[in-house]
């Protein structure tokens, strides 16, 4: 197993300016499978993902990536609105490799192979900025996947995609997992959580209320907050 795991959070808090965004988060994540982070708007899911890739530091507690000193290059993150350079689809899919010092010739070869895997072969020479939302998301996943991260963080990878776009992205996420990458992702789509997750972390009000295997989480949620959330009846933080 990679030195990155287990990811260990102990009493992690995030209070950037007095506002308590995360509090007392204890969490241990192994290097296998797909962990889905669920919770209402404002629960702290995106903040948690940003911490796991080192973009935000806890203001209290400790966060450890196995025996590694920090997240390093084995951790990649894909945001909800992935950045596309004003360049071709092929150039954009190879961007991460460029940062890893891979030669142009190799980037082209590996980029084409990846475009085939994500169904964008016939778009290789087009401007990436002309892609639809679903195509951009596939491109961003392929770009991250090409760098072979041990840990891939995905923040709402299918928000605003239509059903066939969702299905295409879910298929790619499954393949990335089968390839040996640990995935930690957020979603508001509970069907997606049941289709993809091995385990579920349920956050509410900045705290982890539950961390359980997916079937157990949906069949027998332990915390009252999770029960209400699954029923769609969470009474707080609806985002107004
Ligand atoms: N960098 C930051 N500095 C300070 N506060 C932040 C920062 N990022 C987010 N917050 C605050 O932390 C809280 C949790 O935000 P976060 O984006 O993690 O929620 P979320 O669970 O991802 O919600 P959603 O489901 O709407 O995406 C919010 O109140 C937000 O304003
Ligand atoms: Mg979020």
Q: Are the beta carbons of 94 and 103 closer than 8 angstroms?
A: no
* Domain ranges (residues) in the chain: 7-231
Q: Confidence class of residue 237 from pLDDT cuts 50, 70 and 90?
A: very low
pLDDT for res 238: 46
Tens digits of per-residue pLDDT, 197-220? Answer: 999 999 999 999 999 999 999 999
The residue contributing the CA closest to ligand 1 atom 18 is: 44
Q: How far apart are CA 24 and CA 31, in angstroms?
A: 23
pLDDT for res 234: 65
Q: Which residue has the higher pLDDT, 232 or 124?
A: 124
Q: Confidence class of residue 68 from pLDDT cuts 50, 70 and 90?
A: confident
- The residue whose two tokens read 């009252």 is 224
The pTM for the full model equals: 0.95
Say yes or no: domain 7-231 is CATH 1.10.10.60. Answer: no
Q: What's the whole-number mean pLDDT along residues 108-136?
A: 97
CA of 137 to the centre of ligand 2 (A): 16
**Percent of the chain with pLDDT strictly greater than 90:** 89
Q: Are the beta carbons of 48 and 185 closer than 8 angstroms?
A: no
pLDDT for res 240: 41
pLDDT for res 57: 96
How open is the CA angle 51-55-60, to the nearest 5 degrees?
A: 45
Q: Give the number of the atom of ligand 1 that is nearest the alpha carbon of residue 48.
A: 18
Tens digits of per-residue pLDDT, 40-65? Answer: 999 999 999 999 999 999 999 999 99
CA of 74 to the centre of ligand 2 (A): 22
- 226: nearest Cα among 215, 235, 217: 217
> For a substitution probing ligand 1, which of 12, 39, 46 has the most ligand atoms within 8 Å of its CB?
46
- 33: nearest Cα among 211, 213, 203, 155: 213
Q: What's the whole-number mean pLDDT along residues 166-186?
A: 98
- Kindly tell me if the per-residue pLDDT of 129 is higher than 50: yes
């Amino acid at each position: 197993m990679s030195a990155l795991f287990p990811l260990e959070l102990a009493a992690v808090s995030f209070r950037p300016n007095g506002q308590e965004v995360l509090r007392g988060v204890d969490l241990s994540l192994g290097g296998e499978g797909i962990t889905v982070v669920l919770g209402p708007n404002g629960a702290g899911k995106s903040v948690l993902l940003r911490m796991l890739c080192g973009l935000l530091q806890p203001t209290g507690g400790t966060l450890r990536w196995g025996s590694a000193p920090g997240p390093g290059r084995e951790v990649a993150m894909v945001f909800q609105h992935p950045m596309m350079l004003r360049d071709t689809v092929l150039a954009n899919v190879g961007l991460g490799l460029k940062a890893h010092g891979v030669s142009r010739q190799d980037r082209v070869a590996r980029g084409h192979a990846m475009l085939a895997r994500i169904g964008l072969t016939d778009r290789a020479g087009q401007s990436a900025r002309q892609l639809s939302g679903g195509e951009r998301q596939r491109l961003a996943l392929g770009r991250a996947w090409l760098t072979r991260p041990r840990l891939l963080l995905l923040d709402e990878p299918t928000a605003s995609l239509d059903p066939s776009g969702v299905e295409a992205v879910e298929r790619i996420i499954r393949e990335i997992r089968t390839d040996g990458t640990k995935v930690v992702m957020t979603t508001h789509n509970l069907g997606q959580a049941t289709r993809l997750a091995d385990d579920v972390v349920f956050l509410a009000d900045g705290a982890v209320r539950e961390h359980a295997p997916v079937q157990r989480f949906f069949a027998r949620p332990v915390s009252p907050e999770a029960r209400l959330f699954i029923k769609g009846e969470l009474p707080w933080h609806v985002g107004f």
